[in-house]
Amino acid sequence: MEEQQVAISQYPTPTPSKRFPWKKPILILVAFIIGFGGVGSVLAWRTTYLDNYLPAGVKEFFGRGEERRELTPGEVEEETRNWKTYKDEKRAYELKYPPTWVYGSTKEGQVVFETSKENLGPGDLASKAIVVTAVTLPTGSDVPDPLIDDELYGEKQKVERTSVTIGGLQGEQVIFLDLDWVYSAVFREGTYQRRIYYFNLHKIEHREIYDLMISTFAFLPEEDPTEGWKTLKNEKYGYSIKYPSTWLTGGGKGTLAQSSPLAYFFVKREDMEHEGGEVVLIAVQAYPGGIPDPLISVKRCKEEGECKDCTKEECDEDELFCMEGCKAERKSITIGGVQGEQVAFMFIADNRLYKIGSAVAQSGTASHPPRVYFFTFAIRYSQYEREETKYREIYDLMLSTFKFL
């Protein structure tokens, strides 16, 4: 039987299967999404939108600096049209903040801005979104340069430092790269007081709001903080000084402050009932042998650690103004138009914390030998954390009103 042979070309050609009829449209859709997403990513990357969310280290790796366009006054006004205004007349400034945000004061001169009341609760300031602090510089003290230190938590930080305009004055801005924090500061030489205003951002996602808040910051006209204060005039010892109208005064050994070499200033009457109850003490001491150098002698009974009371023998040589302190800091200061000195120290006695000593000398005349005027600042130890800033500001204001007669 003859075997039948069939040519290969005679086999029927199979019809292509249509198991994936949507394959081509799906591929087109995927390609469109990838393309659209890529364009969007590029646009976001080329603008500053992603800068609010990228860690500083990532931005630095890709060469993303903090080049941010400064908004025009018109743009700032439009963006913040419906914002609320926070005003601090005592420290002479105001700024706007978002209408849904809240604020709370932590201590004198410091205010925290947050997105909710819950976030205002207890916690480290470094956990708060935006913190604004007005620091009043002590009378005659130097302005720190730079305003913002590179050191945080005892360590030098990696930073980017730029200039920034705040309230019409030139300030500075520092970006802490490893922490994603932004700090800004500006100094104002006021008529009555000198202040540094700090603006700290700890949550980088609020950078745009932070920039807008700084753009709305404005200084207010200053008011004389000593207006309405009383004046103590001591003609016997040749000086006058102003003090708060609600405060009380007393002299040494029950005498009047107006004629005593010692003048005590008390906040409340109960403070007058025990020794060491004063907040400010003025002591005028004569030096027939010549003005001492330095004016303030700080005795350190120990090189390090806790300080102990001076012994009687140590106090005998400087009876009116015996001090002792650890890690004392000394600087120049102007009092009554004359250059004096100020020492920061730590001395605890009778539940009082003695913090600051200032002094200025007056040359001798035909009627009296050379004199040194000492000014001590103290506060109850129990009030230290809560009220030191408030009373320290009063102390500095009192020094600024001191005059020789």
The answer to whether 234 and 240 have CB atoms below 8 angstroms apart is: yes
Q: Cα–Cα distances in Å, from 343 out to 150, 240, 340?
A: 25, 22, 10
Tell me whether domains 73-219 and 230-404 share a fold: yes
CA 276 to chain centroid, in Å, comes to: 30
Could you tell me whether strands 323-324 and 298-299 are parallel, antiparallel, or unpaired per DSSP bridges? parallel
SS3 284: strand
Q: How many helices (H) and strands (E) does the chain have?
A: 6, 24
pLDDT for res 187? 97
* Residue 360 to residue 209: CA distance in whole angstroms: 47
- The better pLDDT of the pair 364, 225 is held by 225
pTM value is 0.65
End-to-end CA distance of the chain: 147
In whole angstroms, what is the distance from residue 388 CA to residue 138 CA? Answer: 13
Sign of CA dihedral 264, 138, 240, 323: positive
Phi-psi region of 82 (alpha: psi -120 to 50; beta: other; left: phi over 0): alpha
- Residue ranges of domains in the chain: 73-219, 230-404
Residue-level pLDDT at 272: 62
Average pLDDT, the chain: 78
CA–CA separation, 68 vs 102, rounded Å? Answer: 26
Q: How confident is the model at residue 284 (pLDDT cuts 50, 70, 90)?
A: confident
**Per-residue pLDDT tens digits for 234-281:** 998 999 999 999 998 988 777 788 888 888 888 877 666 655 667 888
Query: What pLDDT, in 10s, does the model give residues 47-61?
Result: 444 454 455 455 444
Nearest to 324 by CA among 351, 303, 350: 303
Span 21-54, pLDDT tens digits: 566 666 676 666 666 655 555 554 444 444 544 5
Closest among 382, 384, 402 to 392, alpha carbons compared: 384
Query: Is the CATH code 3.40.50 the one for domain 73-219?
Result: no
The Cα–Cα gap between 264 and 277 comes to: 9
Q: Which residues contact 50 (CB under 8 A, 6 or more apart)?
A: 44, 64
- Architecture label for domain 230-404: 3-Layer(aba) Sandwich (3.40)
Residue 39: predicted pLDDT: 53
Q: What is the pLDDT of residues 92-142, one digit of tens each?
A: 999 999 999 999 987 778 999 999 999 988 888 899 999 999 998 876 677
Most confident of 36-45, 159-168, 305-314: 159-168
Distance CA 165, CA 53 (A): 25
Cβ 286 vs Cβ 379: under 8 Å: no
User: What pLDDT shows up at residue 191?
Assistant: 83
Q: Is the dihedral of CA 88, 89, 90, 92 positive or negative?
A: positive
Instruction: Compute how many other C-beta atoms are within 10 angstroms of the C-beta atom of residue 237.
Output: 21
Residue 185 in this model has a pLDDT that exceeds 90: yes
Rg (CA), the chain: 34
- How far, CA to CA in Å, does 211 sit from each of 45, 60, 97, 113, 183? 20, 20, 11, 14, 11
Alpha carbons 371 and 360: distance in angstroms, whole number: 9
Q: Are 22 and 14 in contact (CB under 8 A)?
A: no
Is 182's pLDDT higher than 80? yes
Buried b (16+ CB within 10 A) or exposed e, 37-68: eeeeeeeeeeeeeebeebebeebbeeeeebee
- Residue in the block written with tokens 């209408």: 99
